[in-house]
Structure 1
Amino acid sequence: MAGDESVFLRAKDRKYKGLTEDEQKEWSGPFYFIQAADPQLGLMKAWRIGDCDSGGDEWTEEVQLTKQAVQAINKLQPRPRFLVLCGDLVHAMPGVKAVFSGHYHRNAGGCYDGLDMVVSSAVGCQLGDDAHGVRVVVVTKDDIIHRYHSLDQLTQRGMDEDLKKLLV
């Protein structure tokens, strides 16, 4: 990732600086990217104790390995063009009240046994009637409050005031 510019500031106006069609349509020589998979937080303890259904309540080992991977990748020269993370992100979710996901390209979800499954619609291509947007998730000591905001709403008014008040 070239220059001192933060990688998170390179995405703007539905484009990612350095990876636009105009900049990439002509072959400019070899490059590489990193493909990582399955940090699967919680699996190592579950596997070790032989309880893969409910034994993944500790993530320490996987978090350390993930940090090691990030540090190693950040030291690579030349820098990779990008990183793709595939596979299972978590195996077990100790104390988790909600799981947030996408891929359905519309808002959906449900609740089972005290665990909320929240599916957020897409920033990009919509397959339902939802507006292009993002989900704002506020985490307080006692609760998780989330609401889908259209990109137009977020741009013009920001997040809902009642959500802001929870942050003070």
Structure 2
Amino acid sequence: MAEEKRSFKIQAINRRFLPFDSEKEKEWQGPFFFVQGADCQPGLTYRWTGTERKQCTTDMPMKWDVEIEATRAVIKKLNQMQPKPKFFIVCGDLVDAFDFEEPFRTQQENDIKQVFSELDPSIPLLCVCGNHDIGDQPTRSSIQRYIDHFGDDYYDFYCGGIHCIVLNSQFYEHSLNVEDLKLKHEQWLDEVLKDKQSKHIIIFQHIPWFLRQYDEGKDYFNIEINTRLEMLEKFYKAGVKKIFCGHYHRNTGGSYKSMELIVTNAIGLALGTDKSGVRLVRVTENDIEHQYFPTEDIPLNFL
């Protein structure tokens, strides 16, 4: 019998992730692991010149089979894992084409959602918005488009006794068109950070606050330093343990006081020396450990 074809289902709604029961999941239930990836970004390989991303026009040929197959290879590996990961989270740039780059944007949305639907239904998939998903200078319409296709642009959830907070990091990069939405984001964030009922607090976002040093200078891949330091101190005081990011297409990271920031390489086009892949994260009662694996080396058992 042919395998049933599944469709992508939006599950981040009303600032909650529906597969997890918030009350039940606040209780510590023993060690588990999850998988974090970033930057599927179908089309980037074809558009990359070695130093920058080509501008597209409606009459140029466009392909994204490389990234689609790279994402599918990760999902096939996760489907084979025993035990299964508690969840799989993709930290932004689910697509490459901006919302004004049609017809490529619509085609990429459809194609990546079809691949996502191939994930074993017992492994919840969480999406995080990136700059390509909502635009370098997001608008109400570009954010709404993302929500319509992939779910809320920010939300929180509990899982196995840990509190996970998903941010819209683009608000910290450029919010001039959506200052009211950024204000709502900040008010919401202040509220969710007050909850101290979990073993650990973890943040997921696309753009890293920094790449290696918390006081490094501003560049394309990090957040402006004054905003950065203000937010890092807020997270530290709230008890955040880890911040997982993407965007850089390479593996890196650093620390702010006792809080660790981790930047994970791309599922799609990798720009550093590491091969494309994902990060496996093991959560215990007293610690959170993580290890990056190229897709071909993802172990079938991680606990």
Q: TM-score, normalised on structure 1?
A: 0.49
Highest relative contact order (Cα 8 Å, sep 6+), 1 or 2?
2
Q: TM-score, normalised on structure 2?
A: 0.29
